[in-house]
Amino acid sequence: MTIFISGGCKNGKSTIAEDCCAALACGGPLYYIATMQAFDDEDRARIKRHQNSRAGKGFITIEQPRDLLGCLEKSDPENGTYILDSVTALLINEMYSPESFEADKDAGRRTAKALEQFAKSVKNAVFVSDFIYSGAERYSSYTIEYMEALALCDRTLAACCDAVAEISGALPTMYKGELPI
């Protein structure tokens, strides 16, 4: 089963995703694909908070900030259950390198394709993404390019996943299918 979970920050997406993975695993290996790269103390604190929340739950962490399909070689796709947290961080890493401020204009399409291929290659997966589309600001071209690329990734996952949920206040609103919890 594949599940796509979106929602605002600090709304319980990761906790619900972890619970879904545990329900789907049926004794198989649990993998946590960590995509965030730490650039400052705030990032490191957020990563630590996520590590602490999943401690003791049996997840094998795979650090994969880029090249999502590369983690298949480090795991058991036929029997494993995966949480990818998050699509948002994976895309930013693919789109912008630390060495350049120029956006890779093809990263959104490439990342969406990799996400779809990953979803079709594993037994179970839960994808976590941030809903960033409701601001009323005027954004820079960099931000607009990123938002458009993330929307492509999110639409791709919503189309290919068995269940689609938006989390708000730790409560899911279902758009497709059902969560296994």
- Asked if residue 46 belongs to a domain, the reply is yes
Total of domains in the chain: 1
**Range of 62's domain?**
2-176
Q: Is residue 115 assigned to a domain?
A: yes
Domain-located, residue 40: yes
pTM of the prediction?
0.92
Kindly list the distances between the CA atom of residue 14 and the CA atoms of 93, 135, 162, 163, in Å, as whole numbers in the listed order. Answer: 19, 22, 18, 16
172 pLDDT band, cuts 50/70/90, is very high
Helix locations, the chain, DSSP H: 13-25, 41-54, 87-95, 107-121, 141-160
Q: Which region, left, alpha or beta, applies to residue 55 given φ > 0 means left and ψ of -120 to 50 means alpha?
A: beta
For residue 106, the domain's CATH number is: 3.40.50.300
In a domain, 181, yes or no: no
Residue 18 has pLDDT above 80, yes or no: yes
62 belongs to a structural domain: yes
The answer to whether position 39 is within a domain reads: yes
| Rounded distance between C-alpha atoms, residue 6 and residue 176, angstroms | 13
Exposure on the CB side of residue 50, measured as CA atoms within 13 A: 26
Find where tokens 């994976």 sit: 90
Q: Domain for residue 68, yes or no?
A: yes
